[in-house]
Copies of this chain bind each other. A is one copy, B any other.
Amino acid sequence: MHSAVDAERSSSRAAATAPARVAVAGATGYTGQELLRILSRHPAVTVTAAMSSGTSAARKLPALARLWAGDITPLSVDSLRQAEVVFLALPDAAAAELGPTLVDAGVRVIDLSGAFRLTEATARARWYPETYRVPEHTVYGLTELARPAVAGARLVANPGCYPTATLLALSPIAAAGLLAPDVDVIVDAKSGVSGAGKTPSERTHFSEVHGSMGAYGVFGHRHGAEIEQGVASATGAATVVNFVPHLVPLDRGILATIYVRLTPGTTEDTLADVFQQAYLSAPFVRLVGSTLPEIKHVAHTNFCDIGWRVDASGRAVLVSVIDNLLKGASGQAVQNLNVMLGIDERTGLW
């Protein structure tokens, strides 16, 4: 239903109007660099500023030589105010402060931190202890499930990487009422190391990760709360999600294996129908059914591939894979930008 040629055409249309002025705050981390890489080739935008809070003088990013000619400059709120849309790839506290300021100044914001993801104040206070104001028209931007709201948002809270992979598989089933009540949902997630960011640490030292693997954050990772919020918004009722992330020896990619019990009579075909309906016009979701997806097929793309198996007793295993830096962060942020600008969702991402 979609094709590369369509995408090209839409882009050309978009390019005909004046390009949108966008800025990136936090441009030197892995997500920031990935944002710049995409935006520098995006036909419908002009990057007016790329800033880093750790920078005191303008400098170049060697990895982007020939791709982006601009400098990385020190963080300046005045400069950010000149943009139409600002991407925040900053720590939570910095984003929590800067987001409302920019919205007040009439700038639309796409925030890649966690600050605005939890909508319920108590949950937010538990995982993000800073006190801050959530602007009106703040939207949780899991694009495929929130397009109309994203289109009109002033601030988009770009979802976490684990919740993106998990909720794209889980939400349609939850919304269709197919989850057996009173059974825990188990989410066993595996992530590449780029998800841990760019700052060297013992946990991300090559010799500690290579040939190894481990779980972390059991019962204590805030993406668990974000996933529970997503499931609850789909079902209208609280569901316990037991979420355990693992660090695996690869660079880019997340694979979430999700264990659920379904209501009696639900089959693999039922799920196929539910997913096809949910993702009828979602260019970045690919349904692979019982084949089961692999990280290799989504790395360096904005795709989310979803597979599923159901047995006769209603046990189901869902497997969902994404590139954590693209669909799990910067790719989805640009996808949200496209929706906000009213242009083809795939522009700059195909």
A residues contacting B by CB (< 8 A) are: 2-4, 8, 12, 15, 30, 40-41, 43, 62-63, 65-69, 184, 186, 188, 190, 192-194, 198, 200-202, 204-216, 218-219, 240, 242, 244, 246, 248-253, 255, 257, 259, 261, 283, 286, 288, 291-297, 299-300, 303, 309, 311, 313, 315, 317, 319, 350
- A216–B350 contact, CB under 8 A? no
A193 to B296, CA, bound (A): 15
Which one of A12, A40, A219, A296 has the highest number of Cβ atoms from chain B below 10 Å of its Cβ? A296
- A292–B350 contact, CB under 8 A? no
The smallest beta-carbon distance between A24 and chain B, in angstroms, is 16
A212 to B201, CA, bound (A): 19
Q: A255 and B251 in contact (CB under 8 A), knowing A202-B200, A207-B194, A219-B311?
A: no
- B206–A249 contact, CB under 8 A? yes
The smallest beta-carbon distance between A14 and chain B, in angstroms, is 12
Residue of B nearest to A254 (CB): B213
Residues of B within 8 A of A208 (CB): 206, 296
- B215–A319 contact, CB under 8 A? yes
Residue of B nearest to A287 (CB): B65
- A207–B204 contact, CB under 8 A? yes
- A205–B215 contact, CB under 8 A? no
A212 to B200, CA, bound (A): 16
What are 10 A-B interface contacts by the 8 Å CB criterion? A66-B283, A198-B207, A204-B206, A205-B205, A206-B206, A214-B293, A215-B319, A240-B313, A242-B315, A259-B259
The smallest beta-carbon distance between A254 and chain B, in angstroms, is 9
A240 to B211, CA, bound (A): 32
